[in-house]
Amino acid sequence: MTDPRPQKTILRALAGEALPVPPVWMMRQAGRYLPEYRATRAQAGDFLSLCYNPDLAAEVTLQPIRRYGFDAAILFADILLVPQALGADLWFATGEGPRLSTVTSAADLARLKPADAIHDTLAPIYETVKILARDLPPETTLIGFAGAPWTVATYMIAGRGTPDQGPAHALKAADRATFSALIDLITEATIDYLSMQVSAGAEVIKLFDSWAGSLEGQDFDDFALAPAKRIIAALKARHPGLPVIAFPREAKHRYEGFAQATGADCVALDNSVDAGWAAAHVQRDGCVQGNLAPGHMVTGGPALVEATRAVVEAFRGGPHIFNLGHGITPDADPENVALMIETIRRG
């Protein structure tokens, strides 16, 4: 029997094929801009309860597929479930975002669980993947994901999101050994977590390094590039042929060569990067993903159509997955998402 996977448009793009119409999905496509998501989240009671309820997490993952027919669904979960599975306390403060118990010393690090002890906590996530692998339309690719070690570490060290990742940079400078050991622990846990997602049915993996842009020079090499390379190599050794998308957000010129340096099959681009530059300097190494500014999902109109066409045109010469340069925001208009997709598919 012929393997159906290469016929899926996103898998074809990830394999290096330049398609006449780029496949499209959207970061945070299951989210607060959709009324059906808000209703399901209310049913769950709170955000973490939604993440850990396989039936409801699968439901919100499927909602944008039903509404828009995206070419991929991305597992509904959160990058901070891994720290929680490692033993960090995690809660979400209403209107303020995530909060965690902090890791700021060797003693704090020693209190965390080993990397291979995460699976009992994360078992509901693997069940969500199994449901999605069963229930998604046959043409829709299932993407699993995790946060990259640097980004996850910034939250674990600060106990929350910060504008400049200052606490993580401070620990890195003051106690590089402890900081490096934390990165190693997160890296090993992430490999196991993502491997279990693939075993449950994920066809593609995406690694989100949302704060990669605050690393420079050798620190970027050591804590953004090297962990991504280690994770990707381990996953591909366990799951030959697995495609991986890497997203070192705001990496600027360091986007160039990132795919070759890490083994990623695709590099996702934020919208601060000029698409023409990226086509010349990043897409030459393989598939790129991106990079429409998310604000167009709020404002819509002719500017949305023009900007969407410009992104498609810029990357027309090589493999491209259309996406936003960051996640869609809660104030986005669902009708603008439909307009974006119509513009991509009708040209």
Q: Where are the domains of the chain?
A: 31-287
Q: Where does the pLDDT of residue 6 fall: very low under 50, low under 70, confident under 90, or very high at 90 and above?
A: low
DSSP tag of 221? I
Choosing from 12, 28, 230, 249, which is the catalytic residue? 28
Q: Which CATH number fits domain 31-287: 3.50.50.100, 3.40.30.10, 3.90.1150.10, 3.20.20.210?
A: 3.20.20.210
Catalytic site residue 155? yes
| pLDDT tens digits along 19-74 | 999 999 999 999 999 999 999 999 999 999 999 999 999 999 999 999 999 999 99
- Using 50, 70 and 90 to split pLDDT, how confident is the model at 201? very high
**Contact call for residues 327 and 27 (beta carbons, < 8 A):** yes
* Entry pTM: 0.97
Tell me the C-alpha distance between 247 and 270, whole Å: 8
Q: How far is CA 190 from CA 81, 151, 206, 313, 315, in A?
A: 11, 12, 11, 35, 31
Annotated active-site residue 32? The verdict is yes
- pLDDT attached to residue 95: 79
Find the catalytic residue in 33, 68, 126, 155.
155
Q: Determine whether 28 is an active site residue.
A: yes
Neighbouring CB atoms inside 10 A of 7's CB total: 11
Q: Which of 5, 41, 99, 345 is catalytic?
A: 41
Residues 142/203, Cβ–Cβ less than 8 Å? yes
User: Which residue in the list 78, 192, 265, 285 is annotated as catalytic?
Assistant: 78
41 is catalytic: yes
Q: Is 316 a catalytic residue?
A: no
pLDDT score recorded for residue 93: 82
Residue 125 has pLDDT above 80, yes or no: yes
Catalytic hit among 32, 38, 67, 345? 32
Separation of alpha carbons 245 and 72, rounded Å: 13
DSSP code for 277: H
